[in-house]
Amino acid sequence: MSTIKQHQRSESGNGNISGTVAQVSSTTTTTNITTSSSSLSSSSDWKKYSSDLMEHQPSSHYSPPQSPLSVSDPLGGYFQNLRSPDTNVRKSAVENIISLLTAPENEKLLRTNITNIVVLATESPFEEITDAFSTLLSTIQEKYHIPKQKTTSFINETQLPPLNSNDQLTKRLFQEAFLQSGRVNHIIRLLGWHPQYLERFLASYNKVMRDQGPLPLPWRNYIGILASARYNCGYLVALLEHEYLHSGGDPKWLQGVDHIPQKLKNLLKIVEMMAHQPWLLPNVDIEYLVKGQDAWSIAELVHAMILICTFLSLAGFVFSCGILPEYGLASTTTLDERTSFSLNESDCEVEDLTASENTIKVMELLKKKKEEQEEDDFEDGGPEIDRQQEFHNAGNIDADNSSSSSSGSSSLATTSSSTYGGIVDMSRYNCNNQLTHTDFDVSSKDYTIFSVQDYSWKEHGYELVSRIFPDAAPLLDEEFSFVYTMTYYRFNNSTDIDTLPFRRAVWYYVQRVKGMCHDDYNYQEVNMFLSRNLKYYVKKAVCFPDNISKIDYSKLGYDLKPDEKCHLALLAVCSHKQAALLYGLYTVMSYQNRR
């Protein structure tokens, strides 16, 4: 593999941007309490933005965030004080807000702050806030027809990480999220099961989305919208639309890709390939992107690729866990919140008849692996045809080592019944780019198997990112490394279980689906450790996550607890993130080496 050439233009022509908007834990909505500071703080600015957008989209439910500093809002200052690290300041603010909202003459004020009340009752890690607003909510819920709030359509609320967690790291991360954004959003809530990963994820996310870097903030958010829209993830699109406006983005861009600059339009082909068929990227000559009047610098392009992979991965996680939108999160995508809360509304668990038998079987295999110390027992002297055949077999969705009766309980052809299935229209962000997922063909003459031995993250991708975006490279590396090695040495109720072969099988199966081959891995382990249904679920998570249903989530073929399923989803989507990024970085390197 040729040495990566040093890129001279490390900064974009758009200047260095220091982020002031909220991170992924900062879900900006139509509420006062949840809005972070922005340059558009006057009510006249918001009216201009709103009327401009609504003029072109009369059917939209979009409502832009209001400034908490608006002089017309008597509660704005108190809501700001709820985000104070001082307990006494928060308690005083709670008392003042409750006093004003419960005054008989302030019923109109109460109605306009229902979203704030719901958020503070259900998404705060501070007991003094939760208790007071939960009590208030219980007195008005029936009168104002406020729906019961759910974090995910797949998991019972009682099983989720508590907002007032006893774990000190989880507690700190939840509190930091609230103090910054006024709520603990649903992604952060579920990742609270794995606080050490959450800490690393937020560090890398903040670096590529908020801190100084090649791309300006509005462009970062818009690229996130484009990537999320490829997987029809209305939740992320809605969140990013609001953050896009907070960062000073032109609202006309939210009307669709027909209204964006040509430079961004040129990126659409890269977005769709990375989302659906990343193995096509090495055949793309990116000169059309980096030359001419609307050229991207190499630094900007690499930054964009990191963003695309980040949000493809996040979209997969959202759907894999059935995450629902936070209350009050409106969107120009005409998301019907009432419908989204009713989807998959049954809290009844779907029984998996073969799970117990398969769980016993895989635990026996794991114990045997540990005893024999056969973590990497593939012999290089074996026939090449066998190696190719095992790689081919690993991608066979119907091949596994589970009980045969589990077949047919899940299907890749399942009509979407997930969190947003059929609700959100993403066509304006996807334009006429109709590329969709097609399975990687190991015998194709149009593309080749990607050898990770020739181009890997550790040896090559990291180097390229570190030259262009030096602060981001170690954070991304830490995120990848940690999620791959993260273990609690348990499988369901059994402890002292080394799950490395199982976790490794998930990681390498995802990259096999994406056309990547690790020469030092024994691909027999994929079908040895992964049930057919689990492979269905994982493949959907990284190829067409909007098709994941509650049945897919419930019938994985193993007895796994919700936090273990969350761990499984993280393994899958982070492996996907690395695979897509490798394809992108390899394409950039190939172009640089040809110059």
| Token output for 167 | 């774990």
**Beta strand 450-451 pairing with 516-517:** parallel
What would the two tokens of residue 208 be?
């590529």
- State the residue for tokens 């895989």: 362
Six-digit token pair at 432?
């006429």
- Catalytic annotation present for 233: yes
Q: Which two tokens stand for residue 389?
A: 């055949």
Q: Which of 233, 517, 543, 566 is flagged as catalytic?
A: 233
Residues ≥6 apart with Cβ < 8 Å to 77 = none
The length of the chain in residues reads 595
- Determine the Cα–Cα distance for residues 328 and 588; give it in Å rounded to an integer: 41
In the block, which residue shows the tokens 């199982």?
A: 502
Give the separation between CA 230 and CA 308, rounded to whole angstroms: 10
What the block records as the tokens of 12 is: 């974009």
> What Cα–Cα distance (Å) separates residue 337 from each residue in 120, 146, 201?
18, 12, 28
Tokens 């797949």 locate to 154
- Residues 3 and 591: beta-carbon distance below 8 Å: no
Residue with tokens 């967690």: 165
Cα 299 from Cα 286, distance rounded (Å): 13
Q: Which two tokens stand for residue 226?
A: 């484009």
Residue among 200, 276, 84 nearest 472 (CA)? 200
Could you tell me the end-to-end alpha-carbon distance of the chain, in angstroms, rounded to an integer? Answer: 16
List, by residue number, the catalytic residues: 233
